[in-house]
Homo-oligomer: A and B are copies of this chain.
Amino acid sequence: MAHTRLWGGIEAGGTKINCAIATASTTSSRSSRSPSGPALPQILAETRIATTTPAETIAQIVHFFQVYQQRVGPLETIGLASFGPVDLHLSSPTYGYVLDTPKPGWRHIDLLGGLGRSLQLPIVLDTDVNAAALGEHRWGAAQGLDTFLYLTVGTGIGGGAMVNGKLLHGLLHPEMGHILLRQDVSQDPFPGGCPFHGNCLEGLASGSAIAARWGKPADQLPPEHPAWALEAEYLAQAIATFTFTLSPERIILGGGIMHQQHLFPLVHRLARAKLETYLAVPQVLEQIDRYIVPPLLGDQAGILGAIALAQEGSGG
């Protein structure tokens, strides 16, 4: 049997952590989800771990990879797609640390170092949303693009971006969920749920905000509920700001809230109205449903993004 290349992926979120081991696809057939690009990697093993204390959580992650390696063979690299804020500066003394997170016990924890010391493997780190953007670039809705935005609308809201073919980091990394929106309090008196900014994008439009405003979780609100027109308005405002600032070639909207497929036509209509007066390009005027799209990788964008990070780190 020929040597099989193996990579690990860790999608580290505030409530759960997905770990997977993958190899390059062994088939030459295209995945139905990725009709025109390279085939998706094949997931050989995966596990889901609850995010508890750092020590316990890191030990469980390490255990998963160690057991697999003892059974099957060594991984080349691991991709770590982490919740934020996280220090991504290679030259920083706190590179790989979780920074000022509100998550109890995780503030200033050396996540990357804790994993690396036990696993003795090269680990490639980025934010969860940047990793998802990379996965969509390799195998999903951003194939062939070099400047685009991946926005996740779930419990919280975050964004990853690729510009000129490289992931955007900059000073720290973007925190796109925290841009300010315009709220018409006569229509929406909800004070906003962000502990830092109240009614920023995340404070008004995240899953947590929807649940707090309407008293029940988003997936229990029917399509005709007024929650959705309001949600679409806030997302369209954010899309306009991101478009004027980053000039993406496409905006991918993922995350649990976007499982509500009926939300896309509403967002398309409102975003087009906000953009068309000043951005008279065909992508906006004629193809808004190709400008603002769901992720092709769906809920696998995160873990496949982590695998993509690992592959990048090993030239794979």
Which of B163, B243, B279, B283 is within 8 Å of A163, CB to CB?
A: B163
A90 contacts the other chain (CB 8 A): no
**Contact between B175 and A147, CB atoms less than 8 A apart:** no
Minimum CB–CB distance for A153 against chain B, Å: 16
In the complex, the chain B residue whose C-beta lies closest to that of A88 is B247
Q: Bound state CA distance, A245 and B159, in angstroms?
A: 8
Q: Which residues of B contact A164 (CB under 8 A)?
A: 163-164, 166, 168-169
Minimum CB–CB distance for A108 against chain B, Å: 11
Q: Bound state CA distance, A176 and B280, in angstroms?
A: 16
Which of A18-26, A135-143, A177-185, A302-310 sits within the interface?
A177-185
**Contact between A241 and B197, CB atoms less than 8 A apart:** no
Which of B171, B179, B279 is within 8 Å of A281, CB to CB?
A: B171
User: Which of under 10, 10 to 19, 20 to 34, or 35 or more describes the interface residues of A?
Assistant: 35 or more
In the complex, the chain B residue whose C-beta lies closest to that of A199 is B182
Q: Bound state CA distance, A248 and B166, in angstroms?
A: 15
Q: Bound state CA distance, A174 and B241, in angstroms?
A: 10
Q: Which residues of B contact A180 (CB under 8 A)?
A: 181-182, 237, 240-241
Q: Chain A at the B interface: mostly helix, strand, loop or mixed?
A: loop
Q: Which residues of B contact A100 (CB under 8 A)?
A: 280
Minimum CB–CB distance for A205 against chain B, Å: 14
In the complex, the chain B residue whose C-beta lies closest to that of A180 is B182
Q: Which residues of B contact A166 (CB under 8 A)?
A: 163-164
A68 contacts the other chain (CB 8 A): no
Minimum CB–CB distance for A27 against chain B, Å: 34
Q: Bound state CA distance, A163 and B165, in angstroms?
A: 10
A-B CB contact pairs (8 Å), 24 listed: A85-B279, A163-B163, A163-B166, A163-B168, A164-B166, A168-B246, A168-B247, A170-B247, A170-B249, A171-B243, A171-B247, A172-B279, A173-B247, A174-B246, A174-B247, A175-B244, A176-B244, A176-B245, A179-B244, A182-B182, A196-B277, A197-B277, A242-B245, A245-B245
